[in-house]
Amino acid sequence: MIGEVNSLNQIPVIIDCDPGIDDTMMLMLAFARPELDVRLVTTEAGNLTIDKTTYNALSFLTYINKHVEVARGLPQPLFRKQEVAEDIHGEGGLGNVKWADPAFEASKRPAIQAIYDTLMHSTEPITIVATGPLTNIAALLIAHPEVKPNIKQISWMGGSAVGGNMSTTAEFNAYVDPHAAELVMRAGVPIIMSGLDVTHKAYITRDEMAHLRTLGTPFAEKVADMMQFYTFTQKQTPFYTPGFEEQIRIHDVSAVACLVAPELYRGDDYFVEVELEGRLTQGATIVDYTKQSGKEPNVHVLHSVDRAAFIKLFFEAVTTIGKTL
């Protein structure tokens, strides 16, 4: 097999995302950390339409001077009508922040082809970081099951063992395309699930957000502005509880943080499946916590995080990127 050889002992990754405020912060961490070799970015229709998520990926990567290939993904879920989250991320998806006019265009290769080529031309298995609905990944695995040995693992921000944010049981990324999530769960590829159980504990406070502005770079100011926008819109969610606005949940960051700093996270292996038909539970990720099903675990489910260390990691990334611009 021909392809890239990673001589620096980095973790080769493909990032599949739907920027989105927290996806943007995930990209920041991914490109700030020397442990990662980001070989491709692909976009999902999730938080926003595919046109907007693709534009936002190009815009942010232009701003931070990382001209990695960005490949446009599928425009809608496999079997459901698309639902977006502009009420949370803003009409443009980045709150009130504008990063940069894209200095490069999306790849001529569609996402599925680009992921396939990247996997098959690599001399080592690649980790897929997925922080949106799993539409592209499911379509890839259906069309090209031969890629499975070339996928080291999928680190997915999605799902929830207890409680949801789109319904009482379902998290957004699983709810938006439950069929894709279920197909990926059954694919036999190792999966790390950073669901709401852990991402609700990986938050930044208002005081910490304000501290971002003291870092003294235009980049840190923009990050703080995005976080500020989040404090208002997260309060509008159907499952808002008092005090929620004090905890700005930067969900997607955990899908990268658990790779570069795995010691910060705790989790266990469980059998997980996705509810596709329930009137009240469609999109719920059913985690066999009691292990009563007798089925072999298929997902490593994260449930806790060292928040102080997580915030330190986040601030280091803001500082690192800010100093390069």
Q: What is the pLDDT of residues 95-121, one digit of tens each?
A: 889 999 999 999 999 999 999 999 999
pLDDT (0 to 100) of residue 271: 97
Active site residue 211: no
Q: What is the pLDDT of residues 75-84, one digit of tens each?
A: 999 999 999 9
pLDDT (0 to 100) of residue 257: 98
pLDDT (0 to 100) of residue 86: 81
Q: Is 216 exposed, middle or buried (0-12, 13-18, 19+ CB in 10 A)?
A: exposed
Q: Where are the domains of the chain?
A: 11-324
pLDDT (0 to 100) of residue 105: 98
Options 89, 179, 251, 300, the catalytic residue: 251
pLDDT (0 to 100) of residue 304: 97
Phi-psi region of 11 (alpha: psi -120 to 50; beta: other; left: phi over 0): beta
pLDDT (0 to 100) of residue 227: 86
The CA-atom distances, in angstroms, between 107 and each of 13, 92, 148, 194, 292 are 17, 21, 23, 29, 46
Question: Which parts of the chain have pLDDT scores under 50?
Answer: 1-5, 7, 239-240
pLDDT (0 to 100) of residue 261: 97
Three-state SS at 315 = helix
pLDDT (0 to 100) of residue 230: 72
pLDDT (0 to 100) of residue 273: 97
Give the DSSP letter string of 262-293: GGGEEEEEE-EEE-SS-TTTTT-EEE-TT--S
Domain 11-324 CATH (choose: 2.40.160.20, 3.30.200.20, 3.90.245.10, 3.20.20.70): 3.90.245.10
pLDDT (0 to 100) of residue 3: 39
Work out the angle between the directed axes of helices 135-143 and 178-185 (0-180°, nearest 10).
50
